[in-house]
Amino acid sequence: MTKHLFSSQNSLITQYLNELRDFSKQTNRRLFNENLQQIGFLMGYELSKHLTWKEIEVETPLAVCKSAELEEQPVIIGIMRAGAPLLEGLRKAFDSADIGFIGAFRNHPNNDDSFEVALDYLACPSLEGRIVILADPMLATGQSLVKTVKQLEKHGKPKAIHIVSVVGAPEGIAHLEQEIPHITLWLAAQDSHLNTHSYIVPGLGDAGDLCFGPKL
């Protein structure tokens, strides 16, 4: 598994992440959403450098100049709910990309800390031979992402799969490396650990609730 970690360098991604984490600013839902979008755009920009480009010619009013453009547009898939603002930022970077959505959530059948990952919605084009970018802000246990990737691969074998997350725990990263080592992981920051409730520490809280409000 290839991993790109942005907290190891000084960049605007870290500045936006600081505001996401800041408890005193998390009541500003607009700011939280905008910061996720900004991180998605910047990470999409960095990701674009690792894709395949082709030579083109652009005709200006004065001459024809040689340049380059992406050889193909990716498919961007957001894991709902929290993945929506991150997906929107990636969409601004890849403004001609195909878009897909998948619903994945923790189901607690025993009403305790144990859970299983449930997938209840999927809408995406064929992924055969495509470059797939999967947007999910929180990489905790990694179970949702592993199950999502395996489900998506039933809709065609992608050429490459990139997972874009904001914060990730070592436990989740290790799970991805064991179960889906063929992916490329993009992380704004790798955090310390998971607590007993499988939440990321220090983390930033429940990204879905902070974006859209509490759920039942």
How is 74-87 classified by DSSP, letter by letter? -EEEEEETTHHHHH
Residue 109: its pLDDT value, please?
60
- The percent of residues in the chain predicted with pLDDT above 70, rounded, is 94
pLDDT in tens, 142-155: 998 999 999 899 88
Residue 8: its pLDDT value, please?
82
What Cα–Cα distance (Å) separates residue 41 from each residue in 67, 94, 122, 172, 194?
Answer: 22, 9, 23, 24, 27
pLDDT in tens, 40-77: 999 999 999 999 999 999 999 999 999 999 999 999 99
What Cα–Cα distance (Å) separates residue 40 from each residue in 86, 108, 141, 210?
Answer: 5, 30, 21, 17
Residue 108: its pLDDT value, please?
54
Q: Indicate the average pLDDT of the chain.
A: 93
What Cα–Cα distance (Å) separates residue 133 from each residue in 99, 144, 159, 196, 199?
Answer: 10, 15, 11, 30, 24
The CATH number of the domain covering residues in 2-50+73-212: 3.40.50.2020
pLDDT band for position 214 (50/70/90)?
A: confident
Neighbours of 59 (CB within 10 A): 8
Find the mean pLDDT for residues 18-31: 96
- The percent of residues in the chain predicted with pLDDT above 90, rounded, is 81
The structure tokens 């755009």 sit at: 41
Checking if the pLDDT of 112 tops 90, the result is no
Domain positions in the chain: 2-50+73-212
Checking if the pLDDT of 106 tops 90, the result is no
